[in-house]
Amino acid sequence: MDFFDPHIHVAARTTDDLELMAKMGCLVVGEPAFWAGYDRTGVNSFCDYLRQLTEWEPKRAARYGIQHYCWIGFNAKEAENVGLAREAVALLPEFLDKPNVLGIGEIGLNKCTRNEVATLEMLIDLALRTNQQMLFHTPHLADKYKGTRMILDMLRGDSRVDRSRVCIDHCEEHTIRPVLEAGYWAGITLYPTTKANPERAADMVETYGAERILVNSSADWGPSRPCAVPDFMLALRARGHGQTAIRRVVYENPLEFFNQSRNFLFTPPER
């Protein structure tokens, strides 16, 4: 079955991973800007990384018939350096018209500090001033609920926000309800150790329905699986869900969300 992986860090994966995903039916990937595993030392490092996402990774994915799109942003793990954050945010507009850029992301909170909030406010304002979609990272583990509530409160306070063009990612059982009830898209990340595994994701889809839910691998350089979305598809199939229901979550939903970006140009392959 054809599917999208709406959140995967292709720059951290091998060409073997891309080939495997293509063989399993992946047509489109969305790659959010990401933390490098260490704090970058200057704004030029961000510029080079954004060039990688907008110039090189699309070519790598295209070799396997996968259309590569990306999100550009500044990760919360580096937001304590507010001066560098300001420089990086000022750099982003020159990349917004690149043909594979979907919007601003992944942006959000990590430890929910004052500096993280200040940086996030700059990024949200940039997205709204330039009419961009937004993809939000929510914190890990103990800070998950607090950070999700803080993001929802920040968005609620800005009348410019179109909730249908915002995805709050890395939702878990205790955060997905307020995200969906507020009218946002909810992303569920399929990790082998943290976030949600395919069975837990299937539970959430069965509990809340398929509307405005995206599932993704968020595969990066840590423990993660580039074939996590097919794992989720198999979990739903094992529970008796039919092809139509599965396709809704892994293909039709991300297609609907991505279609709101002015740069998203996708033609389904002929069958």
104-153 pLDDT, tens per residue?
Answer: 999 999 999 999 999 999 999 999 999 999 999 999 888 999 999 999 99
DSSP characters over 176-226 = HHHHHHTT-EEEEEB-SSSSB-HHHHHHHHHHH-STTEEEE----SSS--T
CB 126 within 8 A of CB 81: no
Quick count: other Cβ atoms within 10 Å of Cβ 20?
17
Q: One-letter amino acid identity for 240?
A: G
φ and ψ of 230, to 5 deg: -60, -35
- Which candidate, 46, 44, 114, places its Cα nearest to that of 74? 46
CB 193 within 8 A of CB 223: yes
150-197 pLDDT, tens per residue?
Answer: 999 999 999 999 999 999 999 999 999 999 999 999 999 999 878 899
